[in-house]
Chains A and B, each alone.
Chain A
Amino acid sequence: MDTSLFDWQPILITLKLAATTVLLLLVVGTPIAWWLAHTKKRWRILVEAVVALPLVLPPTVLGFYLLIALGTNGMIGGWFQTVTGDSLAFSFTGLVIASSLYSLPFVVQPLQGAFEAVGRAPLEVASTLRASPLDAFMTVASPLALRGYITAIVLGFAHTLGEFGVVLMVGGNIPGETRVISIAIYDHVESLEYMQAHFLSAGLLVFSFLVLLTVYALNRRLPVHLS
């Protein structure tokens, strides 16, 4: 195969999408996970259920509603258009929003588990040692929840890499904008370009495997042990 003709764009877009999504999810997911781990409010179960929804919903259902919401007439899409003049649907930004919702549980759940494992005790200690709640979070809770963070980053990243249905519904297939690896593979197969499909598929397979392998190896060596 002539690699000079090979289209690298889907790979770059996929990586960019996954990285952006994970970053956004860490920012948004950390407070949600923290709240879920520590609140005693009864309606936390409601939030937990909503966060877990993407795990069970067919991606097409999520994609369908997202398409409506992000569309020019949708609540979010319409607002976005009046503010920026751009459309959210079938754009990279729209794709990031969709991916973030789709991968939300993969980031929130490991973080919540980690925060619950850390518990309140170390935070109480920190507070008796003059650490403000934010200080205690940064210097005690976060380092102790490091494994949770690594799991969240890897699962969030890997899951975004592999999404198909939501992307197809919300992002479409615009080269250089929303055409990610999974869509590209589908296209190649449709047009019987098995070589290209092989190349992308095998690449994704090996990459995913290596990432997970690295993480599990790293996880065993981390100096953080809850005793």
Chain B
Amino acid sequence: MSARLAARIKTGYPGFQLDVDLSLPLDGVTVVFGPSGCGKTTLLRCLSGLEESDSGFIKFGDSIWQSDENFLPPHLRPIGFVFQDARLFPHKTVHANLLYGYQRISPAERRIAPDQVVGLLGLEQLLERFPKNLSAGEKQRVAIGRALLTSPGILMMDEPLANLDMERKQDILPYLAKMRSELNIPILYVSHSLDEVLQLVDTLVLLDNGRVQAVGPAREVLVELDPLRQPPSSLAGTLLDTTVEAHEEEYSLTRLKFCDQPLHVPKQNLEVGQALRLHVLARDVSLVTGPRDIQTSVLNILEGRVSAIETAGQDEHSVNVLVDIGQPLLVSITRKSLANLQLKPGQSVFAHIKALRMIH
């Protein structure tokens, strides 16, 4: 089993309690997701040691960061931390900011070189500037580089894109993707907007009101059947990994292939054979039991079998259904529709996908 970050943390202040027990893989990108005020940032600050929880046990791989007897201060933990507001040292140039942590680790620990980070994050033109002469996006890139140069065992990011507009986010996201693929550093990413990291996320933690609502591989957490552990309806849905099959120029569409079934999306600037990840929200799918050649304007129809039907929440108007289309597809329909269609596990259905999002 690979190394893990295990944490039991209890802390609070008047009106708020954080109480979590987590074991996260130190591999890939883990996203802690939840609404504002759910305790995400507090959790990250406790894990980094910036805050000491009232009680807690934190173990990183084999080393204990916090227990009843001892508390390792942040400067002795092998972490990188990226704050929401970059927090560059205003009295130092970009170059000096980048090297601040690098100079404080022993040469033997230096797995990441300054040149590598400068190249990776595109900082060549900025090195001699002072932070006040940088844009918000540039500042955040420097902050990420500065944290990376401590060759951290884990990189913690506290809503690093929250202060940036959509365009700036799109500027930084490719760098994050590159970081993920080129540097083998586990990332713990806190965010209240999952859109920005759906393409990166491996493990997803849903945090609500100081408690862990769900944790697991993102693909599984997002199609959770139980409404109590399900992400908000703006997220609950299925990630589909497709490949580009052809472009249909006359309709300005791109045809994708998913498990030998075709899907259509607006024309994409991608080569045939390239991968494209789609996110299909449960509320954007309807189920049809009738024949395949039913007349409909819906273009994307996937055939499958009902694999599970939610039985909890009897007083809700809607109900979750899982359809096996080669992987579980989460569908949310009304309880009345469920009764009308008399759906049962094993039954063959057509999933009509009314909308899907491309994740770049």
Residue of A nearest to B85 (CB): A121
Q: In the complex, which residues of chain B have a beta carbon less than 8 angstroms from the beta carbon of A127?
A: 49-50, 73-75
Q: Known: A126-B100, A127-B73, A128-B50. Contact between A223 and B105, CB under 8 A? A: no
A224 at the interface (CB under 8 A from B): yes
Q: In the complex, which residues of chain B have a beta carbon less than 8 angstroms from the beta carbon of A223?
A: 91
A125 touches B83 (CB 8 A): yes
B74 touches A122 (CB 8 A): no
A227 touches B132 (CB 8 A): yes
A129 touches B90 (CB 8 A): no
B87 at the interface (CB under 8 A from A): yes
Q: Known: A122-B87, A144-B90. Contact between A129 and B132, CB under 8 A? A: no
Q: Known: A128-B79, A128-B81. Contact between A225 and B150, CB under 8 A? A: no
Between B49, B91, B150, the greatest number of chain A beta carbons within 10 A of the residue's beta carbon is seen for B91
Per the 8 Å Cβ criterion, residues 249-279 of B in contact with A are none
B71 CB, nearest partner CB in chain A, Å: 13
Between A125, A129, A223, the greatest number of chain B beta carbons within 10 A of the residue's beta carbon is seen for A129
B7 CB, nearest partner CB in chain A, Å: 17
Per the 8 Å Cβ criterion, residues 64-101 of B in contact with A are 73-75, 79-81, 83, 85, 87, 89-91, 100-101
B147 touches A140 (CB 8 A): no
A224 touches B90 (CB 8 A): yes
A129 touches B50 (CB 8 A): no
Give the distance in Å from the alpha carbon of A132 to the alpha carbon of B132 in the complex. Answer: 26
**Interface digits, A111-132 against B, CB 8 Å rule (1 contact, 0 not)?**
0000000000110111111111
Q: In the complex, which residues of chain B have a beta carbon less than 8 angstroms from the beta carbon of A227?
A: 90, 131-132
**Interface digits, A123-160 against B, CB 8 Å rule (1 contact, 0 not)?**
01111111111011001100110000000000000000
Give the distance in Å from the alpha carbon of A121 to the alpha carbon of B104 in the complex. Answer: 19
The one of B49, B80, B91, B101 in contact with A144, judged by C-beta atoms closer than 8 angstroms, is: B91
Q: In the complex, which residues of chain B have a beta carbon less than 8 angstroms from the beta carbon of A128?
A: 48, 50, 74-75, 79-81, 101, 147
B40 at the interface (CB under 8 A from A): no
Give the distance in Å from the alpha carbon of A131 to the alpha carbon of B99 in the complex. Answer: 12
Q: In the complex, which residues of chain A have a beta carbon less than 8 angstroms from the beta carbon of B80?
A: 128
Give the distance in Å from the alpha carbon of A217 to the alpha carbon of B100 in the complex. Answer: 31
Give the distance in Å from the alpha carbon of A225 to the alpha carbon of B74 in the complex. Answer: 27
A131 touches B73 (CB 8 A): no
Residue of A nearest to B73 (CB): A127
B218 CB, nearest partner CB in chain A, Å: 26
A130 touches B105 (CB 8 A): yes
Between B49, B100, B150, the greatest number of chain A beta carbons within 10 A of the residue's beta carbon is seen for B100
A49 at the interface (CB under 8 A from B): no
Q: Known: A122-B89, A144-B90, A223-B91. Contact between A130 and B132, CB under 8 A? A: no
Give the distance in Å from the alpha carbon of A73 to the alpha carbon of B261 in the complex. Answer: 100
A226 at the interface (CB under 8 A from B): yes
Q: In the complex, which residues of chain A have a beta carbon less than 8 angstroms from the beta carbon of B105?
A: 130
For the complex, would chain A's binding face be called helix, strand, loop or mixed by DSSP majority?
helix
A224 touches B50 (CB 8 A): no
B146 at the interface (CB under 8 A from A): yes
Residue of B nearest to A146 (CB): B91
Give the distance in Å from the alpha carbon of A128 to the alpha carbon of B147 in the complex. Answer: 8
The one of A130, A132, A133, A140 in contact with B89, judged by C-beta atoms closer than 8 angstroms, is: A140
Residue of A nearest to B149 (CB): A129
The one of A121, A130, A144, A226 in contact with B75, judged by C-beta atoms closer than 8 angstroms, is: A130
Give the distance in Å from the alpha carbon of A190 to the alpha carbon of B63 in the complex. Answer: 76
B75 touches A125 (CB 8 A): no
Give the distance in Å from the alpha carbon of A131 to the alpha carbon of B91 in the complex. Answer: 16
Per the 8 Å Cβ criterion, residues 296-318 of B in contact with A are none
Q: In the complex, which residues of chain A have a beta carbon less than 8 angstroms from the beta carbon of B79?
A: 128
Residue of B nearest to A129 (CB): B101
Give the distance in Å from the alpha carbon of A151 to the alpha carbon of B83 in the complex. Answer: 32
**Interface digits, B126-156 against A, CB 8 Å rule (1 contact, 0 not)?**
0000011000000000000011001000000
Give the distance in Å from the alpha carbon of A62 to the alpha carbon of B147 in the complex. Answer: 52
Q: In the complex, which residues of chain A have a beta carbon less than 8 angstroms from the beta carbon of B74?
A: 124, 127-128
Q: In the complex, which residues of chain B have a beta carbon less than 8 angstroms from the beta carbon of A132?
A: 75
Q: In the complex, which residues of chain A have a beta carbon less than 8 angstroms from the beta carbon of B89?
A: 122, 125, 140, 144
A129 touches B87 (CB 8 A): no
Residue of B nearest to A136 (CB): B75
Q: In the complex, which residues of chain A have a beta carbon less than 8 angstroms from the beta carbon of B87?
A: 121-122, 124-125
Give the distance in Å from the alpha carbon of A144 to the alpha carbon of B89 in the complex. Answer: 9
Per the 8 Å Cβ criterion, residues 154-208 of A in contact with B are none
Q: In the complex, which residues of chain B have a beta carbon less than 8 angstroms from the beta carbon of A124?
A: 50, 74, 83, 87
Give the distance in Å from the alpha carbon of A125 to the alpha carbon of B80 in the complex. Answer: 10
B48 touches A129 (CB 8 A): no
Q: In the complex, which residues of chain A have a beta carbon less than 8 angstroms from the beta carbon of B104?
A: 129-131, 135
Q: In the complex, which residues of chain B have a beta carbon less than 8 angstroms from the beta carbon of A136?
A: 75
Residue of A nearest to B86 (CB): A125
Q: In the complex, which residues of chain A have a beta carbon less than 8 angstroms from the beta carbon of B147?
A: 128-129
Give the distance in Å from the alpha carbon of A87 to the alpha carbon of B35 in the complex. Answer: 68
Residue of A nearest to B104 (CB): A130
Between A126, A135, A223, the greatest number of chain B beta carbons within 10 A of the residue's beta carbon is seen for A126
Give the distance in Å from the alpha carbon of A135 to the alpha carbon of B101 in the complex. Answer: 12
Known: A129-B104, A135-B75, A144-B91. 8 other contacts (CB 8 A): A121-B83, A122-B87, A122-B89, A127-B49, A127-B73, A128-B74, A130-B150, A131-B75
